[in-house]
């Protein structure tokens, strides 16, 4: 289903429950989510794991049958992962339903294309970070004040000689712990970028820091947190960043 009349939008919005509507909004926000990520976000309070998984499967099937979500051909986690390893994306109809509910203008009618494996892995890693913070908040470890994903977290600024540039972090996060609030730009590293690309991104951070735009708007410049999947990659990133100009090392 790619087209929805207004009456059908109203009908669907009334038929879906709060969990399903929240799942639909979150898939649009992050672009891709695994079935198990959606279960942990929206079906965590069901009394048993089996019941949680069953209810999640039923809801995702209903959203897919209504043409609001689509399941990618690629599955993450191997055959043993079952439906929890399926990756979901929002359809044009799903975006339209979200826009209708939020009062936004009509969204683009672009379809869903099967993305490459690096994009899928990186996007799901960002969702894993968000999920970890949500679960830490539920446990009372911290307060998740904000999690801006791409492209909401991007920053456009004027660099040297007035050249317009855009800083593209993977996320901007604000958390509260005790009496303190911490803000960070986050880079989720999947070991797919070489030294040149990493240095290029680091220098965009330095240019943005020197522009003073973030400090003027928010009173401070967030720390830049790089998250690696392995110890060896973390060591590589640490050595790379320590070799950069002192001022950039201070914010990373």
**pLDDT tens string 19-70:** 999 999 999 999 999 999 999 999 999 989 999 999 999 999 999 999 999 9
Average pLDDT over all residues of the chain: 90
Give the domain-ending residue among 114, 131, 147: 114
Q: CA 29, CA 136: separation in Å to the nearest integer?
A: 20
Specify if 32 maps to a domain.
yes
Do the domain assignments include residue 23?
yes
Higher pLDDT, 224 or 244: 224
Backbone angles phi, psi at 142, to 5 degrees: -155, 175
Do 137 and 247 lie in one domain? The reply is: yes
Give dist(CA 185, CA 225) in Å, integer: 6
153 and 79 co-located in one domain: no
Which of these three, 73, 99, 114, is where a domain ends?
Answer: 114
Asked if residue 80 is part of any domain, the answer here is yes
- Asked if 157 contacts 167 with a C-beta cutoff of 8 angstroms, the reply is yes
User: Which of the residue ranges 6-15, 161-170, 179-188, 189-198 would you say has the lowest mean pLDDT?
Assistant: 6-15
Residues 95 and 149 in one domain: no
Do 129 and 51 lie in one domain? The reply is no
Domain check: are 94 and 126 in the same one? no
Which residue segment(s) compose the domain that 131 sits in?
A: 121-251
Say yes or no to pLDDT of 163 above 80: yes
Q: How crowded is residue 145: how many other Cβ atoms within 10 Å of its Cβ?
A: 13
Do 212 and 131 share a domain, yes or no? yes
In a domain, 1, yes or no: no
pLDDT tens digit sequence for 123-134 = 999 999 999 999
Q: Are residues 15 and 108 in the same domain?
A: yes
Residue 140 lies in a domain: yes
At 174, the pLDDT band (50, 70, 90 cuts) reads very high
Q: Is the pTM higher than 0.75?
A: yes
**pLDDT recorded at residue 243:** 85
What is the domain count for the chain? 2
Which pLDDT band holds residue 113 (cuts at 50, 70, 90)? confident
Are residues 105 and 132 both part of a single domain?
no
Q: Is residue 195 located within the same domain as residue 232?
A: yes
Q: Indicate whether 192 belongs to any domain.
A: yes
In this structure, the answer to whether residues 10 and 80 fall within a common structural domain is yes
pLDDT for position 110: 65
77 lies in the same domain as 125: no
Domain-ending residue, one of 63, 92, 114? 114
DSSP 167-203: E--SEEEEEEETTEEEEEEEEE--S-S-HHHHHHHHH
Instruction: Assign residue 26 the CATH number of its domain.
Output: 1.10.10.10
**Same domain (yes/no): 101, 209:** no
């Amino acid at each position: 289903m790619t087209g929805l009349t207004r009456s059908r939008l109203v009908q669907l919005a009334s038929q879906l429950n709060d969990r399903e509507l929240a799942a639909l909004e979150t898939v649009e926000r992050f672009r891709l989510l695994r079935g198990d990520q959606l279960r942990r976000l929206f079906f965590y309070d069901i009394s048993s794991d089996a019941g949680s998984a069953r209810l999640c499967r039923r809801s995702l099937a209903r959203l897919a049958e209504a043409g609001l979500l689509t399941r990618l051909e690629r599955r993450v986690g191997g055959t043993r992962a079952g439906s929890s390893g399926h990756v979901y994306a929002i359809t044009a109809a799903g975006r339209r339903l979200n826009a209708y509910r939020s009062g936004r203008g009509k969204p683009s009618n672009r379809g869903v294309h099967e993305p490459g494996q690096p994009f899928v892995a990186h996007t799901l890693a960002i969702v894993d970070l968000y999920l970890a913070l949500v679960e830490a908040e539920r446990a009372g470890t911290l307060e998740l004040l904000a999690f801006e994903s791409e492209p909401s977290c991007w920053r456009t600024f004027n660099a040297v000689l007035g050249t317009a540039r855009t800083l593209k972090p993977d996320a901007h996060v604000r958390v509260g712990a005790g009496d303190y609030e911490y803000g960070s730009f986050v880079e989720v590293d999947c070991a797919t970028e070489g030294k040149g690309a990493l240095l290029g991104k680091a220098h965009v951070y330095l240019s943005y820091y020197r522009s003073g735009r973030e400090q003027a708007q928010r009173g401070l410049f967030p720390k830049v947190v790089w998250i690696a999947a392995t110890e060896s990659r973390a060591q590589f990133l640490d050595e790379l960043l320590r070799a950069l100009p002192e001022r950039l090392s201070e914010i990373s």
